[in-house]
Amino acid sequence: MNTKIFCDIADISLIKKFNKKKIVKGFTTNPSLMRKAGAKDYKSYSKQILKICRNKPISFEVFADDQYSMIEQGKKINSWGKNVYVKVPVVNSKNKFSGYVIKELNDKNIKLNITAVYTANQTAKILKVINKKTKVIISIFAGRAGDTGKDPIPEFSKSIKLAKKFKNVEILWASVREPYNYLQAKKLGCHIITIPPTVIEKIEKFGKSFNQLTIETVKAFLVDSKKSNFKIL
């Protein structure tokens, strides 16, 4: 499995930089990243991003919390570009499954990225309401699950198995915590992994031997001890 790397970012200067990298096959954003990047107007900021990212897939998320508004926002976001995926949370803040929203948008041939997924049961519910033609990404949050002491790997394995019946569905490893997650995602057979810029840069440096790492680590400790002028008298 050749797991595609997407860059998880909304900062325009970083999108310019990472859009040039061959290793980066697409982008994902969310309202939190947009806010962090300083976006004031969601639509105009997204269109600025699309002027840079013209060919690679990019996800923009709806932020409404009721089904009707989510559908309306999804239609508008879809109209911004042919490379746009409309990002829809699997449930709203009241824990109501977004199945109606997903079906309505997907039936209109709108590409979707279903986000905030944690379980294979959620994946199964999503697969019941989509069509078998229009592209759908299912984003499973590995890092956030791991942060709470839960192993996300079994949920990925089951979800990937379920999605095999759908040629239009891709499973995405979300909420990366370290570069090694990329190798885990590849081993599992994830179609995509979305990664923050700093971690992508570390992945580009893969290949160092354990001996190199040992020497680099010891040298770093030595440099810091000298800079601090440490002495044991």
Active-site residue, 165 included? no
Sequence-ordered alpha helix ranges (H) in 53-196: 67-78, 99-107, 120-129, 142-147, 153-163, 180-188
Which residues on adjacent β-strands are paired with residue 88? 114
* Residue 116: closest CA among 19, 181, 194: 194
Report how far residue 64's alpha carbon sits from residue 44's, in angstroms, rounded to the nearest whole number. Answer: 18
Q: Active site residue: 20, 76, 87, 103, which one?
A: 87
Report how far residue 170's alpha carbon sits from residue 194's, in angstroms, rounded to the nearest whole number. Answer: 12
Torsion-angle region of 193 (φ positive above 0: left; ψ -120 to 50: alpha; else: beta) = beta
Do 152 and 141 contact (CB within 8 A), yes or no? yes
Per-residue burial over 206-229, b = 16 or more CB atoms within 10 Å of its CB, e = otherwise: eeeeeeeeeeeeeeeeeeeeeeee
* Residue 179: closest CA among 199, 157, 208: 199
Q: Which residues are catalytic?
A: 87
